[in-house]
Structure 1
């Protein structure tokens, strides 16, 4: 593995060349291959590379994450599962001439070797073409059928940036106007009534007034659509059982005048939820695990269960390479346990909503079927999924109701 690129302070005011950005990505990817997390490797590089401007850092980041999304196909095109092989494959897929980038000049990649100079047209397997591990492709294909290839290809590209308008604070048109004043261009999405797609100015969102004042939140449109599927109405007691950072808790609270509770087995994951709720103008009560029984029963228990994350692999592409068959089996068992636990917290005639950001049947319909077989007093009233090629993350939700 090569060391990180260091450039003298004489280069401070100069932008990195495209070739230098490519070399930086190569070295970061070599660190990832050696076991480092991508974000950690990028942060280490950025701290050591004060010469790099914001555009340089963004370009290098894009190179790294494109390689993570397209790992197998780019390795096949580049001839090696190394940082250099991945970047060579990326250049070839883009239709550019690698010899113009791999010149050895300045801080760019060294010249192509004889073997590297030969254009590769490898015969790829379906798993390689679709950039998925061999072991998961049959499961992915069986789960999605005719939609499998389109879903896998969508996962090879960057995810869109979506916003949720806080309808307690503004309407959609006014939110769009506020964002436009700060150079953030959006379009409405049909998947959820408060969903916006950001087409320009995504990097400006977190510092925008609309965001800091609670008018908008960053949230994928499918996550918003899942909340829209819940039978929410004023006065209900709603528990977001696997709340994480609390994005769906906030969406629930903004949707209807409910009593909203949030819980996560890792309390630290919710550390920012209270200030976010205050900013959004909603109330959410945080519950520790030991407090759940005393607060039960709830009219709706929403369970966004731990999962493979296959529906959001374009956002977190390392996930599809870190996942193993053994880890998936463990996740499936955890999901079954969570369903049994949360069922005890639901009021008579209440609703248990089970959701995952997965597109695999083993985590979705199969999991619900397994629960219903062992709990015949429950019935499924709704089952719906969203596929990643439709413009949002892949998601699944099932609504379960206990017989009176």
Structure 2
């Protein structure tokens, strides 16, 4: 966290980003892109701005409670929120023009009261606290607290171009400090506020920014050179590129998605990474899946989900989402699992994954699928909990097709 206050101009930038997220409903990454575009800010100052913005969003209801404002008032009363944030972290107040004051006696009283309310202290909205308690029981308080912490910064060494140790040495020469991550052989944790995407190592495709938990999901696919592999919900392709590295560029790797712009981004990333065996294909209709029936050695289904395991990294989601969205997502997951599993050939492996920590999206979905599809057998699964690993939260399950039907 910060050791000295934000400048007035940086404080205004934080307010502008928060306004876009909370008033205009923009995703946090787009709000950053819009407000940082064209500004020549030093990497360290960018890191300070994103640190404050992220922390405010992770515990938005707490900070709003302490200064007695509503999130919807952020554009008008953002300076008061920023002052409260600085008081909470025992920093001098930022020098903002026309800043709204905070009554420090009232702040101290509200702070004492907030410490007696665990969900509020962890920045958890009521709807999420209810779901978490119902789904995870005694595990939930630790997960709720872990999701309020800032995320660490991880990268994946691209083994098509360099080993993890070679990447670490190269980044050291570019003044980027990293540590190896125990239990994730491809991962490095970035320990400095470096401009990663400006390094020569990034531009030459030696690494991708990817959470260590996400790297465990791709590793579970265990793709081998020469295989036919399908990443059927590829998105922008972080896991696709990891799988391509497993395959050493040999074999056929088909990345599929329903949105063409994501696949276009993936193509650019694949070129930079030297992943020449990646082929992209838009899912235009169910016929796209039917044509691939019983053809794949491996199929990864990283399905759309609530994202409740990655709230450290995407804290704006919990102020945008509602509990009504979860059943809709679960029905979509069920449909994808049933339909896309047809691509797995006999003896092939199906990997189901989410970035959620909720059993209804995870093991419960897998159990229901297996009950309806006896031609698949369960191999194993892994629950990557935020409180236990320090990574983002993920779930993965591996199943083998034992017969055609």
TM bucket normalised to smaller: 0.7 to 0.9
TM-score where L is the length of structure 1: 0.86
Question: Mapping of 1:180-191 within 5 angstroms?
Answer: 180-191=172-183
Query: Which residue of structure 2 lines up, in the alignment, with residue 137 of structure 1?
Result: 129
Q: Equivalents in 2 of 1:89, 1:353: separation in Å?
A: 45
Summarize the Cα distance change of 1:255–1:46 in structure 2 as closer, same or farther, 3 Å threshold: closer
Summarize the Cα distance change of 1:128–1:403 in structure 2 as closer, same or farther, 3 Å threshold: same
Residues 239 and 300, structure 1, Cα contact 8 Å, conserved in 2: yes
Deviation at residue 381 of structure 1 after TM alignment: 0.8
User: 210, 216, 235: which is aligned to 2:207?
Assistant: 216
Query: Which residue of structure 1 lines up, in the alignment, with residue 61 of structure 2?
Result: 72
- Does residue 29 of structure 1 match 2:28? no
Query: Which residue of structure 1 lines up, in the alignment, with residue 187 of structure 2?
Result: 195
SS, match of residue 400 in structure 2? strand
Q: Equivalents in 2 of 1:125, 1:184: separation in Å?
A: 40
User: What runs of 5+ residues in structure 2 fail to find an aligned partner?
Assistant: none
Residues 67 and 107, structure 2, Cα contact 8 Å, conserved in 1: no
Query: Which residue of structure 2 lines up, in the alignment, with residue 384 of structure 1?
Result: 382
1:189-244 CA-to-partner distances (Å, cap 9, x unmatched) read 123211111101432x1121211111111111111111222242232211000000
Q: Equivalents in 1 of 2:205, 2:40: separation in Å?
A: 35
1:265-288 CA-to-partner distances (Å, cap 9, x unmatched) read 112111122232232222101123
Greater relative contact order: 1 or 2 (C-alpha under 8 angstroms, separation 6 or more)?
Answer: 2
User: 336, 339, 357: which is aligned to 1:338?
Assistant: 336
Aligned length: 382
Query: Which residue of structure 2 lines up, in the alignment, with residue 327 of structure 1?
Result: 325
User: 264, 267, 274: which is aligned to 1:271?
Assistant: 264
Summarize the Cα distance change of 1:175–1:371 in structure 2 as closer, same or farther, 3 Å threshold: same
Segment of structure 1 superposing worse, 316-325 or 79-88: 79-88
- Does residue 245 of structure 1 match 2:242? no
Q: Considering only aligned residues, what root-mean-square deviation do their CA atoms show, in Å?
A: 2.6
Summarize the Cα distance change of 1:247–1:50 in structure 2 as closer, same or farther, 3 Å threshold: closer
Summarize the Cα distance change of 1:126–1:258 in structure 2 as closer, same or farther, 3 Å threshold: farther
Query: Which residue of structure 1 lines up, in the alignment, with residue 360 of structure 2?
Result: 362
Q: Equivalents in 2 of 1:221, 1:117: separation in Å?
A: 38
Q: Equivalents in 2 of 1:168, 1:43: separation in Å?
A: 30
Deviation at residue 332 of structure 1 after TM alignment: 0.7
Query: Which residue of structure 2 lines up, in the alignment, with residue 396 of structure 1?
Result: 395
1:366-392 CA-to-partner distances (Å, cap 9, x unmatched) read 111121222233221111011123121
Residues 11 and 96, structure 2, Cα contact 8 Å, conserved in 1: no
Residues 188 and 197, structure 1, Cα contact 8 Å, conserved in 2: yes
Residues 20 and 107, structure 1, Cα contact 8 Å, conserved in 2: no
Summarize the Cα distance change of 1:59–1:238 in structure 2 as closer, same or farther, 3 Å threshold: same
Summarize the Cα distance change of 1:249–1:337 in structure 2 as closer, same or farther, 3 Å threshold: same
TM-score where L is the length of structure 2: 0.85
Query: Which residue of structure 1 lines up, in the alignment, with residue 156 of structure 2?
Result: 164
Q: Equivalents in 2 of 1:133, 1:17: separation in Å?
A: 27
Deviation at residue 135 of structure 1 after TM alignment: 1.8
User: What runs of 5+ residues in structure 1 fail to find an aligned partner?
Assistant: 1-15
Question: Mapping of 1:8-157 within 5 angstroms?
Answer: 18-26=7-15, 28-37=17-26, 38-42=28-32, 45-46=35-36, 56-82=45-71, 83=74, 84=78, 86-96=81-91, 100-101=92-93, 107=97, 109-113=99-103, 119-120=109-110, 121-123=112-114, 124-157=116-149
SS, match of residue 136 in structure 1? helix
1:140-167 CA-to-partner distances (Å, cap 9, x unmatched) read 2344444322322222222111111111
